[in-house]
Structure 1
Amino acid sequence: MTNTSILTLDGVTLALPDGRQLFAPISESFDQRRTGLVGVNGVGKSLLGQILAGSLAPSEGRCLRSGRVHYLHQHFVSQCSTVAELAQVGSVVAALQRIEAGSADPVDFDVVAERWDIRERVQAQLDRHGLDQLELERDAASLSGGQAMRVALIGALVSQADYLILDEPSNHLDVDAREQLHQMLLGWDKGLLVISHDRTLLGHMQRIVELTPQGLRSYAGDYRHYEHAKAHEQACALHTLDRLKHERRRQTQALQQQRESLERRQADAGRQARKANQAKILIGRQQQRSQATAGRQQREHQAAEAKLRAQLRQANEQVERNRPIVMHVPDAGRSQGKSVLSVSGLQLPRGSQAPLDLHLRSGEHMAVIGANGTGKSTLLKVLAGQLQASAGSFQVYGEVALLDQYYSLLPAELSALAFLRLANPGLAHSEVRTRLAQLGLDAARVEMPTALLSGGERLKAALAGLIYRQRSVDLLLLDEPSNHLDLPSLLALERMLDQFCGGLLVVSHDQAFLQRLQLHDSLRLG
C-alpha cells in the first residue's frame, strides 16, 4: 500500500454561528492508512469530517480531494425510509425503476450512469453479510438499529469511493455485527477515516489523529500506542509544570535578595558619602548610577518573569487539556447486600419471549447482553415502568433511574445547567457549574439548549441529571452509555460505576467497556 495523500487540509478553521472559532488552523494530509479521529465531546470531530467530505465549507482555508469521498454521518440511519436509502442507492434504484417502466428522461440515465447492476451488487453484499432476508424496498423503520447501520456500511462498501469517512459506525451494533464491521474495514484497501470512541475499533487503526481546540495532532500506530503516548505527554507536562513552578519560586527569592542587596549598598554608599563630606553633585551621580542599575535589573527581571509566566501558562494549558474527567459516585439509598430487584417469570412485550428470572442486590452489577432485537432495551424500560410486561412480575425496592440510548429524560429546550438544577434543587449554583465542568462541559455551552449540543455533550448532561439527582438511586439502568462518550469520559464512567454501591444493570455491546467494569454476572437474552 502506498501512502499517497488523498485528502489535504490547508489552513482550515471553522467558526460557529456565535462567532467562536472551534479549532485553530489545521494543515494535515490523510492517506490510505486506516485512521481514527478522536477528541473530547464538542470539539468538532463530526464537523471536521463534514469538511473533509465536502458537505461543509470551512470558514477559512481549503480541503483538497484527489478522489471520490463517501461519508456516513452518525445520524444518517434515522433519516432513511427504505433499505435502498440506507445503502445510499435510493435515487439510483428509483431511476432504474422509471427507465424499466419506459422513462426516456436523460436525467434518469445520468443518475444511473454506469451503475446498471447496482441492485444485484447491493443484494450480493446483503447476502454475504447475513442480511439476505432484506429487500431494497423494505421499510427502514422495521430494521433494528444494528441492521440499519450494517446496511449503511454495505452502501459505503459498494460506493466505489476512494476514501470512506465513517462517523461512529459501531454505535448500536451488537458484538457479531461489530466483528463484521472490523472485518469489512480490514478488507477495505483504500483511504479510511473513522470518527469513533470505540477502543476496540480504534485498535484496528494504523494511525490516530486527535482534534483539540489547538488543532490536529497525529500519532502513528493504533489506539494502544496513542494511549501510551498520551500518558507520556501528561507525565512530561506535569514534570515541566512542577519545574517551572520551582523556577518561579527561585526567581522570586533571587529578586527579593537582589533588591535587599541593592538597598543595602545604596544605604551604605549614602552613609559613606555623607561621612566623607562629598559634594552634593557627586552624591547625586552615585544615586543616579545606583538607580540606573536598579532600573536595569528590574527590566531584566520583568522580561524573565514574563517569559516564565508564558511558559507556565503553556505548561498549565497542556496539563489542563489532559486532566481526567471527574464523575462523583452517586449515593445509593439501600445498604450493601439489600435486595433492589426481584424478577419472576417476566415476559417482554418485544424481543425474546423466554421468561426471565432475576434477583439483584445492592452492590451487584450485571450486564444485559444479546444480539440486536432480543429485547435488552425493552427489559430496562419495563423495569423503569415505561413499558408493560406481557406476563410475569417484578419488584423494584427503592428508587430506579434509567438512562436510555436517546436521553429521553433530557428536555431538548433546557440547558444542561437548568436540567441539573431541576434534578437537584439542593445543589448550590456554584456546585452545579463545578460538576458540569468536571464532566468536561464548557462553561458557555452548559447554558445552551441541549438540542444544540453534540451527542456526547447531551449524554453527559443527561448523565449528570441522573447521577447527581436529589433522591438516591437504588437501581441504575444504563442503555448503551458508552455510545458517543469521549475516551476520557469513558474512563471516568468506568471508575464511577466500579464504586457505585447500588444495583446496576447495563446494556452494552462495547466489550472493552464491559471488561473494565468488573461485573458480577451477565444476563443473556435471545
Structure 2
Amino acid sequence: MSTTPTAVTCTAVSFAWPDGTAVFDDLQVAFGPGRTGLVGVNGSGKSTLLKLIAHELTPADGTVRVAGEVGYLPQSVTLDTGLRVDEALGIAATRVALHAIEAGDAAAEHFDVVGDDWDVEERALATLGELGLGRIGLDRTIGEVSGGESVLLRLAALLLRRPDVLLLDEPTNNLDLYARRRLYAAVEAWSGVMVVVSHDRDLLDLVDQIADLRSGEVTWYGGNFSAYEEVLAGEQDAAERMVRVAEADLKKQKRELVDAQVKLARRKKYGQKMFEQKREPKIVMGARRRAAQESAGKHRIMHEERLADARDRLDEAVDAVRDDDEIRVDLPYTAVPPGRDVLTLQGLELRYGARVEGVFDLRGPERIALIGRNGAGKTTLLRTIAGELEAVSGEARAHVPLRFLPQRLDVLDDGLSVAGNVARFAPGATNNRVRARLARFLFKGAKADQLAATLSGGERFRAALAALMLAEPAPQLLMLDEPTNNLDMASVRQLTSALESYEGALIIASHDLPFLESVGITRWLLMEGGELKEIGREAVGYPS
C-alpha cells in the first residue's frame, strides 16, 4: 500500500471483547489513498476494525496509526432530537460569531472563532444541498428530520470537517433510493482515504479496491465489488477442484495402505509357516524375520505418512472453500391458509400525519413490500400495527399471532445469551429443543451461549430473527423493518432462505429492491404524501 501522510496502519493488532471473545490476533493491514470497500462475513470484525481506526476502541496489543484527521460514520446514528441542524453539523459557534461580526461586534473572540471559515454557512448549505437536504436549512431541530436524513446529516458534518480519512459503516442503512443516489455521488467525489463497510452492491461498485477480511487476515483485490466477485468465483472454482483432487488422492492412499497391509500380512503368515517347518537353520530364519519386520515397519510408516499428507492436503483445500451455510428451518405452525383474514386496517390515521384511507385487508400468506421515501411513515405504520404506537383514529386489527422485528433489533436482551433470548420467546421449549432449533439458524455449540451484547450486526439480526420465528405461539404475520441493514451478502442469502421456510404472511419495509424481489413479493404498497397506495411492480422506482 502507499505510504502517504494520510495512510492508516494497523501493526500486530490484537483485540478481544470483555467476555474473552477474540476478534483479532496480530492483525496487519494498511489503507492508502482511494476508496476501499471492506467486506467479510458478519462477525469477521469489520465494524470493530473501523472503531479501532477511529480510536473508539483500544487494541489489547499492537498499534493503530492514522496520519491526519479521521471522520467516522457508525452503523447506528443517534442524534439529540433537540439539537439544531447547525449544532449537529458542528458550526453553531462559528455561525454565532459570524453573525455577531456582521452586526458590528468587532470583539477579538469572534474573529478567533471564525478563523478563516468565513464561508461556513455557504459551504454547509451547499453540502446539505448535495446530499438532498437543502430544504431543511440550518435552524431546524433534529427531531424534525427522518432517520435516513439523520444519516445524511451526520455525513454532511463529516464532509464539512474535510477529514483526511473517512470511515463509513453501512452508510446506506435506512436510506431510500433517492438518498442513496445522493450518498453515491458524495462517495464518488471523495478524494482522500476512504474505507467503507457495506452490503450495498451499487455502493461497493464505486470503490477502487476491495479488502476482504476473513479469519483475522485481509486479502486485497483490485477493482470494485463486481471485479472482486469475478476473481473470487474463479478462486472458488479452483479451490473446489483442489478439494476433488485431494479427495481422490486420499482415497488412493487409503487403498494403497490397505493393499500394503494385506501383502504384509500374507508375508508374515508365509514367514511363520516357514519358521514352523524349520526348512532353514534357526539363525538364518531369525535374521530373515527381523529383516522382514523392519521392512514391513518401514513400508507401513511410508504409507501412513502418505495418507497423513493426503489428509493435510484435503484439509487445506477444504479451508480454501468458503463456507456459506444457509438457514434451513421447518416452520409448519406459521402456515396461513389462503383467504384467511390476517390483518385489517380501517380508516387508520397515524401519528405524524400519515393515514390509510378506507379499508385495507391482508388475507392468506401474502408477501407485501412496504416502500417509500425516508420519513414517509413506513415505520410508524408497522409500529402501530404491532401495538407499539396508538393510532390517532381508526383501527389496526391483527387476526393472527404477529411478531415485529424493528430496525434497532431491541427485541434482544443484551444481558442474556442467544439461547436465553430465544427461550424468553418460547418458555415452554426445553433447552435441548431451543439449541437444536438455534443450530438451524447457524448458532451451534458455544455460539448459542454468546451474549447478545457481543454479537455483530448480522449475528444480532439472525438471533433476533430466530427468537421471533421460533416464538410460541408461532407468528403467522411477520413484519420486518429494513431487515437487510447491517447484513453482508451471505447473511442476506441466509435471510432469504429462512423466509422461504416461513409459511405465514409477510410485511417488509425495505429500500433493498433486489432483496424484495428474492423473497417473492406479491403486493407492493407505497407510502407517499401521507397516504398508503397499492402500486404495480413497474412503478416501484418512485420519483426522485
Tell me the TM-score normalized by structure 1.
0.88
Q: Closer, same or farther in 2 for the Cα pair 1:245/1:164, shift >3 Å? A: same
Give the Å deviation of 1:105.
7.0
**Counterpart residue number, 2:538:** none
Amino acid corresponding to residue 196 of structure 1 in structure 2: S
Q: Which runs of 5+ in 2 are unaligned?
A: 529-544
Which of 477, 480, 497 is matched with 1:478 structurally? 480
Q: Tell me the secondary structure at the aligned position of residue 325 of structure 2.
A: coil
Give the Å deviation of 1:275.
4.1
Give the Å deviation of 1:420.
1.2
- Assess if the C-alpha contact under 8 Å between 2:77 and 2:150 holds in 1: no
Q: Closer, same or farther in 2 for the Cα pair 1:14/1:519, shift >3 Å? A: same
**Counterpart residue number, 1:379:** 381
Instruction: Measure the CA separation in 1 of the matches of 2:525 and 2:108.
Output: 58
- The C-alpha deviation readout for 1:170-191, integer Å capped at 9, x for no partner, is 1111221111111111122222
Q: Tell me the secondary structure at the aligned position of residue 483 of structure 2.
A: coil
Q: Tell me the secondary structure at the aligned position of residue 444 of structure 1.
A: helix
Q: Tell me the secondary structure at the aligned position of residue 362 of structure 2.
A: strand
Q: Closer, same or farther in 2 for the Cα pair 1:446/1:98, shift >3 Å? A: farther
**Counterpart residue number, 1:149:** 151
Q: Tell me the secondary structure at the aligned position of residue 10 of structure 2.
A: strand
Q: Closer, same or farther in 2 for the Cα pair 1:220/1:440, shift >3 Å? A: farther
Instruction: Measure the CA separation in 2 of the matches of 1:242 and 1:46.
Output: 36
Instruction: Measure the CA separation in 2 of the matches of 1:81 and 1:325.
Output: 44
Amino acid corresponding to residue 159 of structure 2 in structure 1: L
Amino acid corresponding to residue 417 of structure 1 in structure 2: A
Q: Tell me the secondary structure at the aligned position of residue 152 of structure 2.
A: helix
Amino acid corresponding to residue 217 of structure 2 in structure 1: G
- Assess if the C-alpha contact under 8 Å between 1:324 and 1:492 holds in 2: yes
Q: Are 1:286 and 2:288 an aligned pair?
A: yes
Instruction: Measure the CA separation in 2 of the matches of 1:50 and 1:156.
Output: 16
- Assess if the C-alpha contact under 8 Å between 2:12 and 2:63 holds in 1: yes
Q: Closer, same or farther in 2 for the Cα pair 1:417/1:423, shift >3 Å? A: same
Q: Tell me the secondary structure at the aligned position of residue 170 of structure 1.
A: coil
**Counterpart residue number, 2:10:** 9
Q: Are 1:49 and 2:13 an aligned pair?
A: no
- Assess if the C-alpha contact under 8 Å between 2:44 and 2:216 holds in 1: no
Give the Å deviation of 1:308.
2.6
Give the Å deviation of 1:218.
2.1
Larger CA deviation: 40-49 vs 344-353: 344-353
Q: Closer, same or farther in 2 for the Cα pair 1:17/1:188, shift >3 Å? A: same
Give the Å deviation of 1:85.
4.8
**Counterpart residue number, 1:29:** 30
Give the Å deviation of 1:88.
4.7
- Assess if the C-alpha contact under 8 Å between 1:72 and 1:166 holds in 2: yes
Instruction: Measure the CA separation in 2 of the matches of 1:315 and 1:91.
Output: 60
Q: Tell me the secondary structure at the aligned position of residue 472 of structure 2.
A: coil
Q: Are 1:413 and 2:415 an aligned pair?
A: yes
- Assess if the C-alpha contact under 8 Å between 2:435 and 2:444 holds in 1: no
- Assess if the C-alpha contact under 8 Å between 2:458 and 2:491 holds in 1: no
Larger CA deviation: 93-102 vs 363-372: 93-102
- Assess if the C-alpha contact under 8 Å between 1:39 and 1:212 holds in 2: yes
Larger CA deviation: 376-385 vs 418-427: 418-427
Larger CA deviation: 467-476 vs 287-296: 467-476
**Counterpart residue number, 2:537:** none
- The C-alpha deviation readout for 1:32-65, integer Å capped at 9, x for no partner, is 3322112222221111112333444434443444
- Assess if the C-alpha contact under 8 Å between 1:347 and 1:356 holds in 2: no
Instruction: Measure the CA separation in 2 of the matches of 1:305 and 1:79.
Output: 64
Instruction: Measure the CA separation in 1 of the matches of 2:16 and 2:390.
Output: 47
Q: Closer, same or farther in 2 for the Cα pair 1:497/1:266, shift >3 Å? A: closer
Amino acid corresponding to residue 288 of structure 2 in structure 1: Q
Q: Closer, same or farther in 2 for the Cα pair 1:373/1:228, shift >3 Å? A: same
Query: How big is the alpha-carbon RMSD for the aligned residues of Structure 1 and Structure 2?
Result: 3.1
Give the Å deviation of 1:261.
0.5
- The C-alpha deviation readout for 1:189-217, integer Å capped at 9, x for no partner, is 22221111223322333322221224112
Give the Å deviation of 1:423.
2.1
- The C-alpha deviation readout for 1:216-275, integer Å capped at 9, x for no partner, is 122333333333444444444444334333332322221121112112113223433554
- Assess if the C-alpha contact under 8 Å between 1:329 and 1:497 holds in 2: no
- Assess if the C-alpha contact under 8 Å between 1:77 and 1:152 holds in 2: no
Instruction: Measure the CA separation in 2 of the matches of 1:87 and 1:435.
Output: 47
- Assess if the C-alpha contact under 8 Å between 1:23 and 1:212 holds in 2: no
Larger CA deviation: 120-129 vs 78-87: 78-87
- Assess if the C-alpha contact under 8 Å between 2:80 and 2:142 holds in 1: no
Q: Map 1:14-413 onto structure 2 (within 5 A).
A: 14-78=15-79, 82=83, 83-89=85-91, 109=112, 114-136=116-138, 138-275=140-277, 277-319=279-321, 321-328=322-329, 330-331=331-332, 332-353=334-355, 355=357, 357-413=359-415
- Assess if the C-alpha contact under 8 Å between 2:329 and 2:441 holds in 1: no
Q: Tell me the secondary structure at the aligned position of residue 394 of structure 2.
A: strand
Q: Are 1:501 and 2:539 an aligned pair?
A: no
Instruction: Measure the CA separation in 2 of the matches of 1:91 and 1:72.
Output: 22
Larger CA deviation: 435-444 vs 476-485: 435-444
Q: Closer, same or farther in 2 for the Cα pair 1:15/1:476, shift >3 Å? A: closer
Give the Å deviation of 1:446.
3.1
- Assess if the C-alpha contact under 8 Å between 1:71 and 1:165 holds in 2: yes
Instruction: Measure the CA separation in 2 of the matches of 1:268 and 1:521.
Output: 80
Instruction: Measure the CA separation in 1 of the matches of 2:91 and 2:301.
Output: 70
Larger CA deviation: 45-54 vs 309-318: 309-318
Give the Å deviation of 1:376.
0.5
Larger CA deviation: 232-241 vs 400-409: 232-241
Instruction: Measure the CA separation in 1 of the matches of 2:466 and 2:157.
Output: 37
Instruction: Measure the CA separation in 1 of the matches of 2:114 and 2:20.
Output: 42
Q: Tell me the secondary structure at the aligned position of residue 288 of structure 1.
A: helix
For these two proteins, the number of residue pairs brought into alignment is 522
Amino acid corresponding to residue 38 of structure 1 in structure 2: V
- Assess if the C-alpha contact under 8 Å between 2:166 and 2:193 holds in 1: yes
Larger CA deviation: 465-474 vs 305-314: 305-314
Q: Closer, same or farther in 2 for the Cα pair 1:521/1:283, shift >3 Å? A: same
Instruction: Measure the CA separation in 1 of the matches of 2:235 and 2:358.
Output: 49
Give the Å deviation of 1:433.
2.9
Q: Tell me the secondary structure at the aligned position of residue 451 of structure 1.
A: helix
- Assess if the C-alpha contact under 8 Å between 1:445 and 1:453 holds in 2: no
Q: Closer, same or farther in 2 for the Cα pair 1:73/1:386, shift >3 Å? A: closer
Instruction: Measure the CA separation in 2 of the matches of 1:349 and 1:250.
Output: 71
Larger CA deviation: 302-311 vs 441-450: 441-450
Identity, in percent, stands at: 33
- The C-alpha deviation readout for 1:121-177, integer Å capped at 9, x for no partner, is 223322443423445454333321111111111122222223211111111112211
- The C-alpha deviation readout for 1:438-474, integer Å capped at 9, x for no partner, is 4344643532432332332222111101112232322
